Structure 1
Amino acid sequence: MERKASHYTPIIMYNEGVFQQKEDEIAIEKPITIYVNDEEFATLVCTPLHIEELVVGFLASEGIIFFASDIQSLELDEERGFAYVLLNKTLSTDPTFFTKRVIGSCCGKSRQFYFQNDARTAKTSTSQMTITAEQCLSLMGEMHKKSEVFSRTGGVHNAALCSVDEIMLTRSDIGRHNALDKLYGFCLYERINLRDKVLVFSGRISSEILTKAAKIGVGIVLSKSAPTDLAIKLAEDLNITAVGFIRSHSFNVYSHPFRVLL
């Protein structure tokens, strides 16, 4: 089955007092329901590309797996929208594990997570890597150039995994979290060391996005948009450098500025 991120649909366009019949390229939105050990686990609404990476990255982010080898088998029924995952272990049956709000601690400080599995899987960065201001600007510009689906549809978020010098991998999705999970899934399959990598992101840095970055294991997050206050507090606690509002010649550093050099 051909995998597509978009398709054309007829529209009526208004421009300078005139209605015209046109075709517009629209991002595809598709639900994928994940079964883990024959039990329905979650339904993700996503762009139907790189679905296997998405499933693996999502399960790792949720604390269900820690390595790709934790999965015994993964079968996709993309036409019907199902993913069947068989693990090498049993799944937690505690109903509060994915829903209970908790307070965790980090270096003597308190930080608030939405769920227990966030507190268990979010990593405090130990990265000592640095990045120059010019590299921050360059990586954001390169990700924008590589964002083909966004340039055609305007309907997806983009994320990239990078060294300080170049983009290694990009993924797009209608869901902000999904784009990051696709990167994470690829890295788990390829056993990529993430401690010395940079995450470049097109969307707002919310607390959920910052927590997702901490689970992936990066020490630097670059964004085209703004962070929230809780995201900044989490970045401080988790030793992650958060950089936002990256434009052609400027940006703001919100946490741990020691990693960003002139």
Structure 2
Amino acid sequence: MSRLRPEITHASRPLTFMVPAVNEHGETLETEIAGEGPLTLYLDKREIVTLMTLGAAPEALAIGYLRNQRLLPDIESIASVQVDWETEAVAVTTRHGIKNIEKRLSKRTVTTGCGQGTVFGDLMEEIDHIKLPPDAELTEETLQALLENVRHYDSLYKKAGALHGCALAKGPEILYYVEDVGRHNAVDAIAGMMWLDGIDGHDKIFYTTGRLTSEMVIKAAQMGVPFLVSRSGLTRMGWEIAQKVGITMLGRAQGRHFLLFTGAERFRHAEIETTA
């Protein structure tokens, strides 16, 4: 049976801009910087939130945000996603409306992060019902191959800086790579892409350049991804929630170095060669 897909615009905008800057020698250089702008999200004509974003994948960002906030049950419930940069707005229209929307919006928690994240409703209670695949496995060889692929990825960060990157991978293969001014935006955009493409997270790895906070762990778990990898560190609440949902979380992953914090039962270390 074919899946209902929403009608969407494809309204990406320029991601970088050239501005003059003076270096340590007093020379004026044209320098590439990251774009950033507000995008106000409307759900059935109701204003939900204003996101500060690079604007690379605004439709996927809107869909993923609503998915990760548990404001929408599935991709089939969305009729259309329309982005208009002149009004700096994205309008999401559902097919049959959203039940109990007032109750869902009444409880809002501002979380840590670049461009404060938000969590609606009782997501902390809902994580008790998240079940991640216990038989998924990540080998050290696969992890190192993925980190090498990420290192060679042609990212905007190398050109302009001031960005966070997130990737969804199957084994060492990068399926999606999204950069934005905040890591929350990048993870939401990937969540939206997964819904649009019908991608399941049970055998995937989620990689981020940003720190692993409680919200990042919750979002990865909601997407059904059992492995969460960061080149940065983590927070205490992120660690506690990762233990609670049973996610395998690795931090400080750069080069050959990594630290395995939770979910060690899914991780397979490389065999260490010994000499007699």
Normalising by the residue count of structure 2, what TM-score does the alignment of the two structures yield? 0.84
Structure 1 residues 254, 147: closer, same or farther in 2, change over 3 A?
Answer: farther
Matched, 1:165 2:172: yes
Distance 2:219 2:259 in 1: 21
- Once the two structures are superposed, the pairs formed by residues 86-235 of structure 1 within 5 Å of their partners are 86-91=93-98, 92-94=101-103, 97-99=106-108, 115-119=120-124, 122=127, 123-235=130-242
CA distance in 1: counterparts of 2:60 and 2:236, whole angstroms:
30
In structure 2, what is the Cα distance between the partners aligned to 1:168 and 1:100? Answer: 31
The share of aligned pairs that are identical, in percent, is: 25
SS at match of 2:152: helix
| Aligned match of 1:105 | none
The 3 A distance-change label for structure 1 pair 199 and 95 is closer
Distance 2:77 2:248 in 1: 30
Q: What does residue 264 of structure 2 align with?
A: 257
Greater displacement, 122-131 / 53-62: 122-131
* SS across alignment from 1:205: coil
Separation (CA, whole Å) in 2 of partners of 1:234 and 1:25: 38
Moved more, 224-233 or 115-124: 115-124
Please give the secondary structure, in 1, of the residue aligned with 2:228. Answer: strand
User: Paired residue for 1:10?
Assistant: 20
Deviation of 1:225 after TM superposition, in Å, equals: 0.6
Aligned counterpart for 1:58 among listed residues 59, 65, 69: 65
Give me the whole-angstrom Cα distance separating, in 2, the residues matched to 1:71 and 1:134. 40
SS at match of 2:108: coil
Deviates more, 1:117-126 or 1:249-258: 117-126
Root-mean-square deviation (CA, aligned residues, Å) is: 2.0
One-letter identity of the residue aligned with 2:133: T
> For the residues of structure 2 that align with 1:165 and 1:2, how far apart are their CA atoms?
27
- Going from structure 1 to structure 2, the CA distance change for 1:199 and 1:151 (only over 3 Å counts) comes to same
Runs of 5+ unmatched residues, structure 2: 1-10, 111-117, 270-276
Q: CA–CA distance in 2 between the matches of 1:178 and 1:211?
A: 14
Do residues 70 (structure 1) and 80 (structure 2) align?
A: no
Whether the 8 Å CA contact 2:149–2:172 is kept in 1: the answer is no
Following TM superposition, by how much is the alpha carbon of 1:213 offset from its aligned partner in structure 2, in angstroms?
A: 0.9
| Runs of 4+ in structure 1 over 6 Å off | none
Q: Which amino acid aligns with 2:137?
A: T
Distance (Å, rounded) in 2 between the aligned partners of 1:6 and 1:117 = 37
Which residue number in structure 1 is paired with residue 114 of structure 2?
none
State the alpha-carbon separation in 1 of the partners of residues 264 and 37 from structure 2: 39
Q: Which deviates more, 61-70 or 183-192?
A: 61-70
Task: Give the CA deviation at 1:3.
Answer: 2.1
Shift of 1:145: 1.9
Aligned length: 248
Residue-by-residue CA offset, 1:59-94 (whole Å, 9 max, x unaligned): 101111121111122211123211111112334112
Unaligned runs of 5+ in 1: 102-112
Q: Which amino acid aligns with 1:160?
A: A
TM-score after normalising by structure 1: 0.88
